[in-house]
Amino acid sequence: MIHCYQFNEHNIVLDVNSGAVHLVSGVAYDILNFIHASGVFPPPGETPGTTPGGDLAPEGPLAIALCAALAEKHPAGVLTEALAEIRALAEAGMLFTDDSQVTPDMLEGRGAVIKAMCLHVAHDCNMACRYCFGDTGAFSGPRGLLSRETGKKAFDFLIRQSGARRNLEIDFFGGEPLMNFGVVKELVAYGREQEKRAGKNIRFTLTTNGLLLDEEKEAFINRHMDNVILSLDGRPEVNDAMRKTVGGQSAYARTAGNLRRFQQSRQGTYYVRGTFTKYNLDFSEDVRHLAEMGFPGVSVEPVVADKTRDFALREEDVPRILEEYDKLAQLYLEYAERGQTFAFFHFNMDLSQGPCVVKRVSGCGAGTEYVAVSPEGDIYPCHQFVGEPDFKLGNVNDEGFHNALYERFNAAHIYNKPACAGCWAKFYCSGGCHANAWHENEDLLKPYALGCALEKKRVECAIGIAAHLAPPRLP
Amino acid sequence: MKHIKTIVKPVLKIVAGKGCGECQTSCQSACKTSCTVANQECENIKRR
């Protein structure tokens, strides 16, 4: 399977199963589009091992058909020349490849090991953002804070379940985790003790709205957090339309002030993360705002909300959003060409390597290697399932833990999702977000279609940016 | 080649068993509401 598209002046061809990316001339682009449209090469998995070289033989029926179809647009000699190059790449395993490298073991034989935890240290929040998927911090349950005892049991649980994995991750999440910062500090100290004892390396992350940041907390965060996610949506009026304090007050000035101070002291990775809704479909301006504030890492994400909400994204918004991603890609290039590169999370792809194919086919890990834990110690497949009784996997206080939903989540990979079979982007999104699939379709195997449309565009932009910045260019 | 310039090699054909599993979980990075796995770093590459 191949995917052909244009980005700026570039003709880009992605060989889906190998991950190879080619920049091609107009002639080669027309030929490859013709071959793709002819359906000669069916989706992977149906004909493993297909070797297309023979089908592209100069005297073969496909070559004759495409030369006839493109004769008016391109001279015969040039068509033959480009076709020969395409054939050479196909024979070298860089075009029209199959997916025979993906084995059943990669998909479902990785073993039930938990290595990452989203630890809800506070089911309460000092903000009441309109779009909050966590019910303004309560996650459809009682408001409350994680106790140190339950937190320690959550750490013990993670270490116990992590098997031979060395690198473990704990994200202090909420609600607002800074409302329970004393416990965060105690748990970090506990984690440092336990990782030595168990031969592990725990990486801590904190996700915060930043309202309660102060210099003392920042010093601790800088010392112990491998990554920090700070929430701010962008322009003041955009931010304040959705993100208000519990008392309904504007939060922009205070948040932005704290984030700027944090920015000065931070040594290490951090992202400023915003959300866009139907009310700011011009969200590239919010990314610009955050980039102009000097934040080196920015992530602005589509809102996750029930379609009945006034700010929810709908199918009719998709064309506008795709245009906006194009604008954002141009903004990104503008900054890069000025030497002021910032990282936009979804454009941040290392195309020369990136994650291995096993990671790409196994997905986000929710419900298998990644779990969320509530302040009561209840375990869920991920933070977006917290508070849903049907998805409760157990409690950190349970003596024995058996993940009753393991098989279900483990099997929710791209090879079991009909919508992913023929999708060119499957090795980039890995089948999409389980929670989005469930909340939209009540089916883990049916991806959230709107999310797929946006993800495909983001991947096109990410590859396009890499292509644009890859010298030298074709004439 | 005159018509084709390869900017990314076939990286998905490099297979190392079941993978080491040591890399970051995507929702622990900067996301939490959507899924892009391909922008995560390979832990083995990072360590080199």
pLDDT, one tens digit per residue, over A169-215 is 999 999 999 999 999 999 999 999 999 999 999 999 999 999 999 99
Residue A447 has pLDDT above 80, yes or no: yes
Single out the residue of B48, B28, A372, A413 nearest to residue B40, CA to CA.
B28
pLDDT of residue A397: 92
Note whether A362 contacts B: Cβ–Cβ < 8 A: yes
Task: Indicate the pLDDT class of residue A48, thresholds 50, 70 and 90.
Answer: very low
Q: Which tokens in the block code for residue A424? A: 């060119």
CA angle A343, A3, B43 (to 5 degrees): 40
DSSP A295-307: -SEEEEEE----T
Please tell me what DSSP assigns to residue B31.
-
Contacts A–B by Cβ distance under 8 A: 228
Q: CA–CA separation, A127 vs A245, rounded Å? A: 4
Number of other residues whose CB lies within 10 A of the CB of residue A307: 10
CB A195 within 8 A of CB A156: no
Query: Which H, E and C letters describe A56-112, residue by residue?
Result: HCCCCHHHHHHHHHCCCCCCHHHHHHHHHHHHHHHHCCCCCCCCCCCCHHHHHCCCC
pTM for the model stands at 0.94
What average pLDDT does this structure show over A117-126? 97
At residue A52, what are phi and psi to the nearest 5 degrees?
-80, -10
pLDDT at position B44: 75
Radius of gyration of chain B from its Cα atoms, rounded to whole angstroms: 15
Q: Beta-strand (E) ranges in A199-292?
A: 201-208, 225-231, 269-276
Over residues A57-109, the pLDDT tens digits come to 777 888 888 899 999 999 999 999 999 999 999 989 999 999 999 988 888 88
Q: What is the pLDDT of residue A388?
A: 96
Q: How much is the pLDDT for B46?
A: 55
Check pLDDT > 80 for residue A156.
yes
How does residue B21 score in pLDDT terms, banded at 50, 70 and 90?
A: confident
User: Chain B residues within 8 A (CB-CB) of chain A?
Assistant: 1-19, 21-43, 45
pLDDT at B3: 97
* Minimum distance, in Å, between the CA of residue A93 and any CA atom of chain B: 8
Q: What is the pLDDT of residues A144-154, one digit of tens each?
A: 999 999 999 99
CA distance A411 to chain B (A): 16
Q: Rounded to a whole number, what is the distance in Å from the CA of A253 to chain B's nearest CA?
A: 22
For A351-371, what is each residue's pLDDT tens digit? 887 888 888 988 899 999 999
Chain B residues touching residue A88 (CB < 8 angstroms): 1
A285: which 2 tokens?
């301006």
Using CB atoms, which residue from B9, B23, B35 is nearest to A355? B23
For residue B11, pLDDT over 50 is answered with: yes
**Interaxial angle between packed helices A449-468 and A434-441, expressed in degrees from 0 to 180 and rounded to the nearest 10:** 140
A 7-36 → B contacts, CB under 8 A: 15, 17-25, 27-28
Q: Which residue has the higher pLDDT, A44 or A215?
A: A215
The residues, ordered by sequence, that sit 6+ positions from B32 with a Cβ below 8 Å of its Cβ are: A207, A229, A273, A301, A383, A384
Report the distance separating Cα A351 and Cα A161, nearest Å: 32
